[in-house]
Amino acid sequence: MTKSFRQIIGLLAIVLFFSACQKIDWFNNGENGNGNAGHTGRYTSEVAQKWIQMQLRVIQSAPPLPTLNGRYMGYVGTTLYESVVPGMPGFQTLSGQLNGLPALPTTIHGRSYHWPSSANAAMASIIRNLYSTASVALKASIDSLENALNTIYQGEVSAETFQRSADFGKSIAQIVFDWSKTDGTYEVRAPYLPPMGDGLWAPTPPGFAPAVQPYLGLHRLFVAGSLAGTAPVPPPAYSTDPSSDFYKMVKEVYDVSQSLTPEQTATALYYRDNPGFQGGGGPYLAILYQLLQIENPKLDWAAIAYAKFGIAGADAWVGCWKTKYQYNVMRPIKYIREVLLHPAWNPLFPTPPHPDYPSGHSTGGGAAEEVLTGLLGNHYAFTNHAYDYLGMPPQSYSSFADMAMQIGRSRVFAGIHYTLSCEQGRLQGKLIARNVEKLLKFHK
C-alpha cells in the first residue's frame, strides 16, 4: 500500500459523503457495533477487485444499453457496501436514505460473519441478475469465480459461519435487485417522437439510428434531491449567423477537425469506448478498478469507494439525459454539413444517437472526478491502461480534474460534441456528486 494511500485511510472517516470531518477507528479488533465478531477492515479487497474485473468482462462482451451500465454500477456498489457494512464500526446502512430502498436483512447479534464470503455471494448474485443476457460462457465464468472464492473462504472459517455469511450476502443482493426493477427502466412508455425544428436533434449518418433512452431522465434517482441546482446553463440560441454564439460553437468543432494532431486523434479514439467498455460508466469503472489495484486497500474502503462512485455516477446519468432531452440540441455533423456547407465532412467515428447537450462522457467524468478526488486527493497522478489490450497508448493524468477535462476534450477532437457541452457536462456531474456527498450519510 502506498504512502499516499495510508494517509488517505487515516482521513477516510468522514461525516459528509467525501469530506473528512472526524476520525474513527476502522481497524478496531473488538466486537463491532452490531455485536458481530470480525471486522470488514481486517480483510483485503481481493473479492471486490475480482468481481469488478468480472463486471468489466461482462460489459465488454455482452453490454446492455450504455446508459444502463451507469445505473447498474449504482446497484452493484450498493450491494457490495450493504453486504459488508455490519462489520464496519461507525458506518450504517443506506436503507432509508436511498430512494425507495426497502429495509434490508440484519445480521444475528453475537454471531460471527466472514465478510469476504458475504461479499462474494452478494456480488455474484447481483451481477448474475443484472446482466441476465450475458452469454452462457460468461455466466459460467461468473459461477466459476464464485465457486473458486468459496473454496478459499470455506477453508478459513467454520461451515456454519461461511453459510451464514453467504446467505446474508445473497439476501442483500436479492432485495437490491428487486429494488432495481422498479426504477423506471422497464416501464413501458409511448414511442418517442423527437421534436422537429431548426437546431434540434435529428438522427445522424451513417446509421440514422433513433434516439437512445429518451426517457432515462424520468428514472428514479438513487438520492432524492441530487439534481437540485445542477442544471447546466441553456445552450446558445440556434442561429446561422456567423457572428452568433451557436455558429461559433459549431465552427470550432469543424476547425479542430481540420488540424488534429496524432495525439489528439489518439485521445479521441481512446474514449470511443467501442470496442471496449461501451461507455455509460464502463470506462470509469475500469479506472476505479485500476486504482484499487494500485492502492490495494482493505475491503471496507473498497466497498465505500464503489458505493459512492456507483451512486453518484448513476444519478449523473439521469441528470445528463434529462437535460439532453430538455434542449434536444443538434449534433455537429448536421450543422457542419448543412449550414457550413461541408457535405462530405465526418467525425472520427459515428455520432452516438442522442442529443448533444450536454456530453454524457463529460457528465460521467465530472461525477467520477468529484468522487475520486474526495477519496484520493486533488493531486493524484495516474496512468489509464484500460485499453492496453487493444494496443491503444495509455492516457496519463496529473489529477482527476485533468482526467475529466481530457475526457471532455476527446469528444471535441472526435467531432461529436461542442466544447460547451463538455464543459457544462463536467460541471453538472461534479455538482450532482457534490449533492450526493451532502445528502447521503454513510456514518452513524
**Can you spell out the DSSP letters for 167-209?**
HHHHHHHHHHHHHHTTSSTT---PPP----STTB----TTT-P
- Give me the residues paired with residue 298 across strands: 44
Percent of the chain with pLDDT over 90: 84
Fold of the domain built from segment(s) 216-439: Vanadium-containing Chloroperoxidase; domain 2 (1.10.606)
Residue 334 has pLDDT above 50, yes or no: yes
Task: Name the more confident of 22 and 326.
Answer: 326
Query: 337-350, pLDDT tens digit by residue?
Result: 999 999 999 999 99
Q: What is the pLDDT of residue 15?
A: 30
Residue 351 C-alpha cell reads as 455520432
Percent of the chain with pLDDT over 70: 89
Residue 37 has pLDDT above 70, yes or no: no
Q: What is the pLDDT of residue 68?
A: 78
Tell me the CB-side half-sphere exposure of residue 168, using CA atoms within 13 A: 28
Residues of the chain with CATH 1.10.606.20: 20-180, 216-439
Gap between the Cα atoms of 399 and 48, Å rounded:
24
Residue 241 has pLDDT above 70, yes or no: yes
CA nearest neighbour of 119 among 223, 38, 222, 32:
38
**Residue 280 to residues 36, 206, 237, 313, Cα–Cα distance (Å):** 38, 22, 28, 9
Residue 19 has pLDDT above 60, yes or no: no
Gap between the Cα atoms of 363 and 93, Å rounded:
27
Gap between the Cα atoms of 442 and 444, Å rounded:
7
Gap between the Cα atoms of 91 and 50, Å rounded:
24
Q: What is the pLDDT of residue 186?
A: 87
Query: 174-208, pLDDT tens digit by residue?
Result: 999 999 999 998 899 999 999 999 999 999 999 99
Residue 32 has pLDDT above 90, yes or no: no
Q: What is the pLDDT of residue 39?
A: 93
Mean pLDDT of 121-150: 96
First to last CA, the chain: 28
Q: What is the pLDDT of residue 64?
A: 59
Residue 269 has pLDDT above 90, yes or no: yes
Residue 414 has pLDDT above 80, yes or no: yes
What integer best gives the mean pLDDT of the chain? 90
**176 exposure class (CB count in 10 Å sphere: 0-12, 13-18, 19+):** buried
Q: Which residues contact 122 (CB under 8 A, 6 or more apart)?
A: 79, 80, 82, 83, 169, 170, 172, 173
Q: What is the pLDDT of residue 237?
A: 98
What's the chain's Rg over C-alpha atoms?
22
Gap between the Cα atoms of 199 and 181, Å rounded:
36
pLDDT band, very low/low/confident/very high, at 25 (cuts 50, 70, 90): very low
**Picking from 2-11, 61-70, 195-204, 365-374, which range would have the lowest pLDDT averaged per residue?**
2-11
Q: What is the pLDDT of residue 278?
A: 66
pLDDT band, very low/low/confident/very high, at 61 (cuts 50, 70, 90): confident
Q: What is the pLDDT of residue 273?
A: 79
pLDDT band, very low/low/confident/very high, at 70 (cuts 50, 70, 90): confident
Q: Is the dihedral of CA 396, 399, 402, 408 positive or negative?
A: positive
pLDDT band, very low/low/confident/very high, at 60 (cuts 50, 70, 90): confident
Q: What is the pLDDT of residue 343?
A: 98
Question: Does domain 20-180 match CATH 3.30.1360.230?
Answer: no
pLDDT band, very low/low/confident/very high, at 5 (cuts 50, 70, 90): very low
> pTM for this structure?
0.91
In eight-state DSSP terms, residue 298 is B
CA nearest neighbour of 363 among 263, 211, 178, 217:
217
Residue 35 has pLDDT above 60, yes or no: no
